[in-house]
Chains A and B, each alone.
Chain A
């Protein structure tokens, strides 16, 4: 079964750092685009970052320079390193396998709370 499972969310102070992990199973991440999407409490979905099958990356303007997406093909895991966190980064972070016209599957997400 094709699945992803996020972990690493936590309560963190503003300015702090956190690394999220996404363990994929049932498929090989290096053959696909993998993305992070977040959802602030009570809000809609926001695309955050992608790592393409060839290894290239892209970021939303709101996280560029602070977040870094990477992957470990030996463990089939995708990461999101988040630095200089702000209150507005508070959200559930979802890891999703993505194609140009689809997002699937979705994990259950991991909650990041940035607060003093």
Chain B
């Protein structure tokens, strides 16, 4: 069982917006502004999509945005494109002996 809770799947049509939630506790998401989001295509390694809750690395489309409220983080993808179809994982730094925890992943179908 994953420490952070994500929906197993979400879907949307091209051009629409979707939001993926990631729920933790006050020892991880709620404790720090250290949430990141990863994108993974089948057969490929994950890549960093969002870091420090809201920041995008260079090269990541502005269609990807993220936020946090309390113990829940969210990833929003606007103007959905076919190429966005992938798995998305959230992760958070924690104040426990286990420094980082992952969500179980969400499969996005476009």
On A, residues with C-beta under 8 Å from B are 35, 37, 44-47, 50, 58, 60-61, 94, 98-109
Contacts and interface: CB of A to CB of B under 8 A. Distances in A.
Given A100-B32, A101-B36, A47 B46 contact: no
A37 B102 CA distance: 10
B102 A44 contact: yes
15 contacts: A44-B104, A58-B98, A94-B45, A98-B100, A99-B51, A100-B34, A101-B32, A101-B36, A101-B93, A103-B36, A103-B38, A104-B47, A106-B47, A108-B45, A109-B45
B83 interface: no
A35 B103 contact: no
A10 B59 CA distance: 34
Given A45-B46, A101-B51, A106-B45, 17 more contacts: A44-B2, A44-B103, A45-B102, A45-B105, A47-B98, A58-B99, A94-B46, A100-B32, A100-B93, A101-B32, A101-B33, A101-B36, A101-B52, A101-B93, A102-B51, A103-B91, A103-B100
B35 interface: yes
B24 to A, nearest CB: 14
A100 B12 CA distance: 32
Interface string B31-73: 0111110100000011110011100010000000000000000
Nearest to A33: B99
Nearest to B6: A44
Nearest to B3: A47
B101 interface: yes
Contacts, number: 66
Contacts of A45: 38, 46, 89, 91, 102, 105
A12 B50 CA distance: 36
A9 to B, nearest CB: 14
Given A101-B52, A104-B51, A109-B45, A46 B102 contact: yes
A112 to B, nearest CB: 15
Most buried by A among B57, B91, B105: B91
